[in-house]
Structure 1
């Protein structure tokens, strides 16, 4: 599971892999594994013909660098991939909210003292300048203890925003933007446009799957809203691709039985989670296919991670 092939200044969730490391990882997969398109991977599980060293490469969200940076590397090595698209962000000139939040808070060097609206809450934002914000580093990860005021504030607001409905979350981002300012986003930090997606899929090496409209935590939504998020995302992807879309990926990996049932009812044939494991073909759940999040590793480091997962499977 990938998201970005880029070098963002702040990457608290480790979703970016530098281009040269991604290239090294793909060369390793080509040399030591059997890379398959995700659709073929699933079909061969069902048929009982999946090679024991098979892998499938996927991307979540639909960042433009998937087209400009990742796609040429994949094409040069003949490796297929599936990109799961957050369809409500197609063509947006704003960064995804979690990236913009990192820019507004973690990348901010100046002090701040203001109040913002996060849903029904009023949140006081008090930040010292970076040189006085003890413990602050550009390399901090969200899985680590937060050692600075910026890190603590980012994580607190991120947790709130993650579970809000899209309209409330976007209103909160508007409040944060108004209070803290913010520069225009780099196009590669944004989602692909329709034209970008057509280019991405033009030679058949890369195909697309659905990833909801607005990237919500699906179990947190009422069933009717959940169904709309899934069905509209699938329909938009089908319109762009000109073909039936078989695959879906749960935002944040969040899923429950009701969500899985709705994804199935909406016409998907399989769905990916973020559960870090190798596929166990003896007891596979086609609506909870595990994926290993790849970090900014060398090819050799990724090979060791894959070996451990195969041994532990």
Structure 2
């Protein structure tokens, strides 16, 4: 985490621990807003080495967060939130919607039972191509390649990185992630081949991290409060495609989903949260009801665009979650520090 961000987190936590944030939240009238939290993997100790830490919370961290949300917040479904937006229905303070991106298998094995225990609704967004091919998310594949590498020099985009140093490791890893994020599926495959040839990773007993279709069907059957939506077929940046290819990506994703579950998905999560007006129009044409983006500090209000609903990335820290849910976020942070994130 950058120093500037760490300092802001420290100040926000201080506001919460001092009671100032909670007091501000209790005195504010509330604006009928809601926070949509974005999770990815809920990982246990045995698989931590295979999942990028930036994309995961540990099982016990998740349990503590859900216990807190159940006790202190108003957790509703995505469908209920959309109904409130459409009908201008007032939302109670600390209203929260839970979402999970990428379709991790641990969403079924770990997250879903905890959600059921606390009677909390959620929406899980899956990449149908990853399910079909039974591949891990690319972010976890590149994490494993770097973590289990046996060689420590990387040449990428004309730059050479010494991975035995922290600076070299951080710079090389971040560049690899950027290149992968900017690539389509074929481009990612070629880049993975190049990374593997250079770093020669020795990955022991690579686990299956992605849901399969039987598990998706089981998830829908055993956990009626959990809805499954779309996250495209190949986790492709839709804004990097022309309109025709973006539409083809989403239509095929919806077709995959319907063929495997017997019903059409209603909601979409944009990969990386990226979208534009063309992508929004294409999403509407694919029979969806709403789509979710990512904005670090934005809350959902009655004025929010249902085709670009903002989400906040759920961090592992329980105290950060309490800061966000205090009723003071992001307004108090912006008033005092001029910003709420970054």
Give your verdict on TM over 0.5: yes
Q: Deviations over 1:269-299 (max 9, x none)?
A: 1000011321121x1100010111101112x
Deviations, residues 212-251 of structure 1 (Å, cap 9, x unaligned):
1111111111222111111111222233333232100100
Q: Which runs of 5+ in 2 are unaligned?
A: 1-37, 335-342
Q: Is the 8 A contact 1:84 1:211 kept in 2?
A: yes
Q: Does the alignment pair 1:40 with 2:68?
A: no
| Residue 89 (str. 1) matches residue 110 (str. 2) | no
- C-alpha separation between the residues in 1 aligned to 2:322 and 2:154? 47
Contact (CA 8 Å) 2:122, 2:225: kept in 1 or not?
A: yes
The answer for the alignment partner of 1:144 in structure 2 is none
> What is the correspondence of 1:1-313 to structure 2 with a 5 Å cutoff?
1-6=38-43, 8-9=48-49, 14-53=54-93, 54-105=95-146, 107-108=147-148, 110-113=150-153, 126-128=161-163, 130=164, 133=165, 136=166, 148-182=167-201, 183=203, 186-187=206-207, 190-203=209-222, 204-276=224-296, 277-281=298-302, 283-298=303-318, 300-307=319-326, 308-309=328-329, 311=331
Could you say if the C-alpha distance between residues 184 and 171 of structure 1 is closer, same or farther in structure 2, counting changes exceeding 3 Å?
Answer: farther
How many pairs were matched up? 288
What is the deviation of 1:184? 5.5
Partner of 2:10: none
CA distance in 2, matches of 1:15, 1:236: 25
Q: Does the C-alpha gap of structure 1 residues 187 and 80 become closer, same or farther in structure 2, counting only changes over 3 Å?
A: farther
Task: Compute the displacement of 1:301 (Å).
Answer: 3.0
Bigger share in helix: 2
Q: 1:29-69: per-residue Cα shift (whole Å, max 9, x none)?
A: 11111211211221222122252232111000001111111
Superimposed CA distance per residue, residues 93-152 of structure 1 (whole angstroms, 9 cap, x where no aligned partner): 4421111112212x1464434667xxxx6x565535x4xx2xx3xxxxxxxxxxx21111
- TM-superposed CA distance for 1:21, in Å, is 1.1
Q: Structure 1 segments of 4 or more deviating over 4 A? A: 10-13, 113-116, 123-126, 310-313
SS at match of 2:54: coil
Question: What's the CA shift for 1:185?
Answer: 6.1
Contact 1:94/1:185 (CA < 8 Å) preserved in 2? Answer: no
Query: Unaligned stretches of 5+ in structure 1?
Result: 137-147
Q: C-alpha distance in 1, partners of 2:232/2:148?
A: 30
Q: Secondary structure at the match of 1:212?
A: coil
Secondary structure in 1 aligned to 2:306? coil
Conserved? CA contact 2:153–2:198, under 8 Å? no
- Write out per-residue CA displacement over residues 253-283 of structure 1, whole angstroms, 9 at most, x where no aligned residue: 01111111111111111000011321121x1
Distance 1:226 1:48 in 2: 32
* SS of match in other structure, 2:175: helix
> TM-score normalised to the size of structure 1?
0.84
TM-score where L is the length of structure 2: 0.77
For the residue of structure 1 that corresponds to 2:91, the secondary structure is: coil
**Contact kept? 2:238, 2:275, Cα under 8 Å:** yes
Tell me the SS of whatever aligns to 1:72: helix
Any conservation in 1 of the 2:229–2:266 contact (CA below 8 Å)? yes
